[in-house]
Amino acid sequence: MILYLDTSAIVKKYFKEQGSIEVIRLWKKTSSIVTSTVAYAETLAAIHRKKRETADIDQSIFKAIRIAFEKDWKSFIRVDVTSALNKTIKRVTAAHPLKGFDAIHLASALIVRQRINEEFVFACYDKSLNESAGKEGLITLP
């Protein structure tokens, strides 16, 4: 199984939230994790935001989370934003009510799905993006 993670799913590995157990379970059994290159900036921003908003994250925990993410990032298959991807972005933004980075994630997942012959799961915890992915024929989590 190949697992596509948008940023809302990636952060669930590093912070205990609703859906964390499910993401970690799939993360452990997948053959490959795929995401868009935009997830790097989104995830780092989310990690820093959580630190600012959560009193119980001290500097050592924060550093461990950042190091773990950087290590995981190196193992991800990353989809670059290219003119080929832009064609799919153009189509999905016309068809679905998506924000910019959500359109990038959906288009990235669709491009990868077209190129593989293996079970493919799209993990996302944004309701609108998940619904759009389902309408595009992707198996979604949750």
According to the model, what pLDDT value does residue 76 have?
99
Q: Kindly list the distances between the CA atom of residue 62 and the CA atoms of 43, 49, 90, 102, in Å, as whole numbers in the listed order.
A: 13, 11, 37, 26
Say if residue 122's pLDDT is above 90: yes
What is the structure's pLDDT at 120?
98
Helical (H) or strand (E) element with 76? none
Read off the pLDDT band of 101 (50, 70, 90): very high
pLDDT at residue 30 in the model: 97
Q: Which domains can be identified in the chain, with CATH numbers?
A: 2-141 (3.40.50.1010)
Q: What is the pLDDT of residues 30-64, one digit of tens each?
A: 999 999 999 999 999 999 999 999 877 889 999 99
**Which token pair is 119?**
């079970």
| Tokens at 16, concatenated | 């205990």
pLDDT at 68: 98
